[in-house]
Amino acid sequence: MAEIRVENLEKSFGSFAAVRGADFTVRDGEFFCLLGPSGCGKTTTLRMIAGLELPTGGRIFLGADEVTTQRASQRDIAFVFQLFALYPHMNVRANIAFPLRCQSMPRAEIRRRVEEAARILRISEILDKPVSGLSGGDRQRVALGRAIVRQPTAFLMDEPLGALDAEFRRLMCGELRALHDRLEATTVYVTHDQLEAMSMADKIAVMNNGVVEQLGSPREIYDRPASMFVADFIGSPPMNFVDFDARLASGDRAVRIDGAEIAIPELRETARQPRCTLGVRPEHVRLSDTSPLRGSVYGTEYLGTTQIVTVATGHGFVKARLPSETSVRLGEPVGLAFRPEKLSIFDRQSGRVLRSALHDGATHG
Ligand code: ATP
């Protein structure tokens, strides 16, 4: 398996820039997710790595070799689309063997590799069955088998679980990650589903409008979002935003909102303009009788051990994740307090986070 590196990668279709200046390294053995909303450039980035699309700028390396202009067939990479695409007239064995037949590999070697793939995927007993009668899960495994028999340097997967219902998706996520670990593979996985990315990835590139907005581990991206876009895209419910105006400077350790002094991680830069937004995850909000930051309970959503309580404030709605046993009444006036060390402050004009003690050590895209 090998490292994949893209440098300042660009792709334009006519005057439209689909991918702008993507820069990242997928380490050998890493499970790397390209995550973002529809149209943000994930598939185009993956297709360039695969060699199915020629970049209009930048470079791509596979291990030590530059492959930017190499055709797909010259790159030792397996591309997995939606996993259901099987050849209906062939049985399981022939489906898995197909890529090796295309390479004119000796029959004994094909047999050995197909049986090894089937063992890894636990489908040995259905090798001689037609694919037409298979369950969804077995069809996925056959399609994966076809990708792994080639023993490629890397796997590229584009929303491979897109066609599945939610429960089965979660199951297959676990299987895919386990398979990746067993093969010690390098995997680049495209998805718009944040839960899928958060549960599987070692590293995530969050894309928006053709740009990688942040590069980091799931925890980094969740705890220290680099922009309001990332903060809003990751997490369910997403991060709360509270707008305020202030002249913030490097060294500040508090902000004032509605007369409440709110402690924040020490700022490490001076804001360029006064329109700011405080970002706080629902689990870092609590109700406080003494806080001057006031609102009234607007709604509650029961989630088993926790509940999401929505509070209407002069700055919009703020959601708090509280223990289910906390009793709240609709319309009840409440004060809000935030966990200081977990707060992010954003420049509302650019959407970018202001660097602070919270971000020390974080990697930004
Ligand atoms: P989705 O999940 O919807 O596929 P994506 O993030 O994978 O979204 P891309 O498929 O990479 O997005 O597309 C990025 C942008 O580039 C989109 O606006 C798309 O319409 C545009 N695009 C992609 N391929 C072409 C093409 N061949 N010609 C023109 N525009 C294209």
Identity of residue 226: A
- Quick one: which of 333, 253, 317 has its CA closest to 280? 317
Distance between Cα 10 and ligand 1 center (Å): 13
Question: Which ligand 1 atom minimizes the distance to the CA of 34?
Answer: 6
Distance between Cα 13 and ligand 1 center (Å): 9
Phi, psi of 321, rounded to the nearest 5 degrees: -95, 115
Ligand 1 atom 24 nearest Cα:
44
pLDDT averages per 10-residue partition of the chain, 365 residues: 91 96 96 96 95 96 92 82 76 93 90 90 92 85 85 85 75 83 89 93 97 96 96 94 94 90 94 95 94 93 95 94 94 94 95 90 44
Distance between Cα 39 and ligand 1 center (Å): 5
Ligand 1 atom 7 nearest Cα:
43
Question: CA of 332: how far to CAs of 226, 297, 298, in Å?
Answer: 35, 5, 8
| Residues within 6 Å of ligand 1 by CB | 13, 18, 36, 38-44, 192
Phi, psi of 72, rounded to the nearest 5 degrees: -55, -40
| pLDDT the model gives residue 104 | 86
What DSSP assignment string belongs to 204-249?
Answer: EEEEETTEEEEEE-HHHHHHS-SBHHHHHHSTTTT-EEEEEE----
Ligand 1 atom 21 nearest Cα:
18
Ligand 1 atom 22 nearest Cα:
18
pTM: 0.88
What percentage of residues in the chain have a pLDDT greater than 70?
Answer: 97
For residue 333, the surrounding DSSP H or E stretch is strand 333-338
| pLDDT the model gives residue 73 | 82
- Quick one: which of 2, 16, 6, 3 has its CA closest to 57? 6
| pLDDT the model gives residue 82 | 59
Ligand 1 atom 31 nearest Cα:
13
Distance between Cα 38 and ligand 1 center (Å): 8
Ligand 1 atom 20 nearest Cα:
39
Question: Which ligand 1 atom minimizes the distance to the CA of 190?
Answer: 7
Distance between Cα 209 and ligand 1 center (Å): 10
Ligand 1 atom 23 nearest Cα:
44
Ligand 1 atom 26 nearest Cα:
13
| pLDDT the model gives residue 363 | 43
Counting every residue, how long is the chain?
Answer: 365
Question: Which ligand 1 atom minimizes the distance to the CA of 192?
Answer: 2
Distance between Cα 46 and ligand 1 center (Å): 11
Identity of residue 191: T
Question: Which ligand 1 atom minimizes the distance to the CA of 37?
Answer: 6
Distance between Cα 256 and ligand 1 center (Å): 43
- Give the C-alpha separation, 95 to 257, whole Å: 63
Question: Which ligand 1 atom minimizes the distance to the CA of 47?
Answer: 11
Ligand 1 atom 17 nearest Cα:
39
Question: Which ligand 1 atom minimizes the distance to the CA of 19?
Answer: 14
- Give the C-alpha separation, 141 to 128, whole Å: 14
Ligand 1 atom 18 nearest Cα:
39
Q: What is the set of domains in the chain, with CATH numbers?
A: 4-223 (3.40.50.300), 231-347 (2.40.50.140)
| pLDDT the model gives residue 238 | 93
In sequence order, which ranges of the chain are alpha helices (DSSP H)? 42-50, 92-102, 107-121, 136-148, 166-183, 194-200, 218-223, 228-233
| pLDDT the model gives residue 364 | 44
Antiparallel, parallel or unpaired: β 344-347 and 154-158: unpaired
